[in-house]
Amino acid sequence: MQPDTMSGDAQGAVTAGTSAGGAASAARSHVYRSVQRSAPFVRIKRSRRQFVLPACAVFLCWYALYVALAVVGGDALGRPLIGPLNTAMVLGLAQFASTFALAGAYARNASRRRDRTALNLRWITQDQERREAGEPAGPVEVPAPVEVPAPAEGGGEVR
């Protein structure tokens, strides 16, 4: 619908929705800024940087070495190693292997050093958003686990 063909009521509803959304957005922005300044968030960012920067530097050097060898050592890279595989093919496959190894190392590092703290920050952020919105904060109630009866004493075989 074109703005000039919108009725006055529709324009008022759009404006009211925008101002209400703006207030909610400002409240959310405040919550995220406070979390961003928190010590756990700073530790997460620092831990991530301590892994990512050296890993990227090493990987880029490894890639640059591969490219430099391809440019300078063309004859050496064409040397057969095993059957039809030559040095260039082996180094190229090593590039793929190192990419997967780096991804695995990052995932392992994240799960060991950052994921639990990040999840806690997520819960804190959601609680703060609920408080800002006037909703009750706290964890969502989860139903109690269902107890499974113990097997009968006669062997407990299921037929």
Q: Domain residues of the chain, as ranges?
A: 23-133
More confident residue, 137 or 51: 51
Reported as type and span, the H/E element at residue 82 is: strand 80-82
Inter-residue contact 129 to 28 (CB < 8 Å):
yes
State residue 29's pLDDT score: 79
What pTM was computed for the model?
Answer: 0.61
Confidence at residue 70, expressed as pLDDT on a 0 to 100 scale: 86
pLDDT of amino acid 151: 53
**Cα–Cα distance measured from residue 143 to residue 3, given in angstroms and rounded to the nearest whole number:** 49
Residue type, 31: V
Tell me: the pLDDT tens digits for 28-78?
Answer: 778 888 888 888 889 999 999 999 999 999 999 999 999 998 888 878 888
Distance CA(124)–CA(131), nearest Å, equals 11
pLDDT of residue 78: 84
143's tokens: 């139903």
pLDDT-wise least confident of 59-68, 89-98, 143-152: 143-152
Which tokens in the block code for residue 60?
């880029």
